[in-house]
Structure 1
Amino acid sequence: MEDNITAAIRKLVREEVATLLKQPKLPSVEPESPLRQYSVKSAARLLDVSEDYVLARIKDGSLPRVVDLGGSRAKYRIPIRALQEFIDSKTIH
């Protein structure tokens, strides 16, 4: 049974990697998956701002974040929906 689970996981990972390789460098902000999250660096590139700007928005609460507790430093991840809401709130209609 464990071999079947491992094989299924490997298949899913291969499919995900193949999909990511086909995408342009900056992925769309469309919420294709509510679980998708961006690093500070990726969010800054997507918004065309500095990483310091993104960190400041995290600290002032404008951008919610998820914290990865790995390694010696906290690594922030920004949920795709929060990023989309931030963009919508700054967009002039």
Structure 2
Amino acid sequence: MIERTATIASTVGLHARPASIFAEAAGELDAEVTIARVGDPIEDAVDADSMLALMSLGMEFGEVVVLRTDDDSAGAALDFLVTILETNHDA
């Protein structure tokens, strides 16, 4: 399993537009990716490609999240998703 952490940079958090951008990118990957707050149990992670699941987490600006996948070849894909999360899509 590989993991990456990211800080939510969109000023409105992971809602509507930022969640849509992120979920679409995650859905285009061959790997299954989950997302959760850092420190939350792994069972609380949700599918990264589900916009509704992302929004249900209520992640706000500045929160740190962890992305995980069991696909050991998906490191570059996780790095790309981190870039999306660490971009302010509301600017």
TM-score scaled by length of structure 2: 0.29
Query: Which structure has more RCO (C-alpha within 8 Å, separation ≥ 6)?
Result: 2
Which of the two has greater strand per residue? 2
Indicate the structure (1 or 2) with the bigger Cα radius of gyration.
1
Which of the two has greater helix per residue? 1
TM-score scaled by length of structure 1: 0.28
